Structure 1
Amino acid sequence: MINLKKLPALRFLKLFVLIIVLSCSQSKKETKKTTITKSGMNITNSYTYNNLDSLFLIKLKKWKEYSDLAEFLNQYEKTTPREALNNALELKNLTKKAKDSNIIKTLKTPAFNARINVFENEVLRLADMTYIPAISSQQVNKQIENIFSTFNSLNSKIIAIYKKDKFSNSVKIDEVFKKIR
């Protein structure tokens, strides 16, 4: 037999459980709608590197991959960490092409090769950052600074090699020794 005194309590209990279930499902829907944005990923930062003089650029005219790389790095001079990560894979490809291309004979020195390898490693690190979901904007900005620093080093080595070559061509060592005798 059904106890009539417990019937309103049972209805109240069912209503209470229904309200709790509905409120929980609504709060879950609201949680799914919110998106988490990383702070600082959309803040534009400025970076610079030392451009080569036109005299050195003329000598590098045959090395098209270098000019493509330098032109692409101009996009990074004012960029956000998000844009930098979005373009990292293309920068990686351009760097690999420049490294693997037929570099001008004058530049084929161990010191230059070391600098281009370090530059490539810094670019590869930035490309790897694209796969890290919890990367911070500070880490990306620091890596971009490292890339520009190593590119400056690469440009400095280009300048040093060509200045040394110019000096060697202007002064003939054999002639100096002949005058000393």
Structure 2
Amino acid sequence: MKNIAYIICCFIFFSCGNKQKESAENEQIKPLLSVVKEHKPSESINPTFRKEVENWQELNAVNSFLQKFEKASPNEVLSNALELRDLVKGLKDSVKPSIFDIPSFNARVNILNNEVLRLADLTFIPAIKTEEINAQVDKTIVAFSAVNTKINTILSKKRFEDAIDVNLDFIGIDSTKIDSISKKSIEDMIKEKDLKKKVQYEGPPIDYKAKKKKSRN
């Protein structure tokens, strides 16, 4: 009988000790979840290209909402994670401008969607650590930066192609890897080519001084 009473007392003692320990750990976690963390802002769309995407509502909605995460506490992040998930899904399923409906761009949107889904999953973990939340916010912002960077790259290429009036895909040049010196070389090459065509059809330029001298002789 005494042994049974001793076992019961030990069980109660250890149970109370574990509960106190868990309570102390939770009390330490709660303040950390309220500490505001400043994250590196996402890459923005070049101001000269904003007009090209001003009517893309789903992209603009994600861009605007994600700014809340750039300076937020883990608690604020978790409270907004599900709404961000829905906005990114809307972007993923949206009707994109035809210039962006390409595999390389869609791949970046899919990566963003996966990172946001992981962030949303953290809201269902009871004892989630602040470090995990902050790390996932950074990954999400980086993924969205990749989307905006790709938009800048695509529109830069389009503008360059329009400027030199040549199909870069046809001649096998990736405009994203062309520096300013190379671009000038291409433009000079095109001018020289046009000049040769002009000579071919119109003949070489006439030296009127030589012609006049010859007529005198």
The answer to whether the superposition gives a TM-score over 0.5 is yes
Could you tell me which residue of structure 2 aligns to residue 89 of structure 1? 82
> Pairwise CA RMSD of aligned residues?
2.7
Matches within 5 A, 1:41-120: 41-47=33-39, 48-120=41-113
Give the Å deviation of 1:54. Answer: 2.4
Mind listing any 5+ residue stretches in structure 1 that lack a counterpart?
Answer: 1-23
Take 1:110 and 1:162, find their aligned partners in 2: how far apart are those partners? 16
Take 1:143 and 1:103, find their aligned partners in 2: how far apart are those partners? 27
Take 2:101 and 2:48, find their aligned partners in 1: how far apart are those partners? 19
1:103-151 CA-partner distances (Å, limit 9, x unpaired): 1111111111110000000000000111111211000000000011111
Contact preservation (8 Å) 2:43, 2:146: no
Mind listing any 5+ residue stretches in structure 2 that lack a counterpart?
Answer: 1-11, 168-186, 198-217
Take 2:45 and 2:156, find their aligned partners in 1: how far apart are those partners? 13
Q: For structure 1, which segment, 50-59 or 138-147, has the greater mean C-alpha deviation from structure 2 after superposition?
A: 50-59
Pairs aligned (count): 157
Contact preservation (8 Å) 1:41, 1:81: yes
Q: Residues 156, 83 of structure 1: CA spacing in aligned structure 2 closer, same or farther, 3 A cutoff?
A: same
Take 1:173 and 1:67, find their aligned partners in 2: how far apart are those partners? 32
Question: What letter corresponds to residue 66 of structure 1 in structure 2?
Answer: L
Indicate the percent of aligned positions where both proteins have the same amino acid: 33
Q: For structure 1, which segment, 170-179 or 101-110, has the greater mean C-alpha deviation from structure 2 after superposition?
A: 170-179
Could you tell me which residue of structure 1 aligns to residue 130 of structure 2? 137
Could you tell me which residue of structure 2 aligns to residue 152 of structure 1? 145
Could you tell me which residue of structure 1 aligns to residue 160 of structure 2? 167
Take 2:50 and 2:163, find their aligned partners in 1: how far apart are those partners? 20
Give the Å deviation of 1:160. Answer: 0.2
Could you tell me which residue of structure 2 aligns to residue 20 of structure 1? none
Give the Å deviation of 1:93. Answer: 0.4
What secondary structure sits across from 1:43 in the alignment?
Answer: coil
What secondary structure sits across from 1:130 in the alignment?
Answer: helix
Take 2:120 and 2:55, find their aligned partners in 1: how far apart are those partners? 28
Question: What letter corresponds to residue 155 of structure 1 in structure 2?
Answer: N
What secondary structure sits across from 2:43 in the alignment?
Answer: coil
Question: What letter corresponds to residue 80 of structure 2 in structure 1?
Answer: N
Take 2:50 and 2:70, find their aligned partners in 1: how far apart are those partners? 20
Take 2:111 and 2:134, find their aligned partners in 1: how far apart are those partners? 18
What secondary structure sits across from 2:155 in the alignment?
Answer: helix
Contact preservation (8 Å) 1:122, 1:143: yes
Contact preservation (8 Å) 1:62, 1:104: no
Higher relative contact order (CA 8 A, sep 6+): 1
What secondary structure sits across from 2:49 in the alignment?
Answer: helix
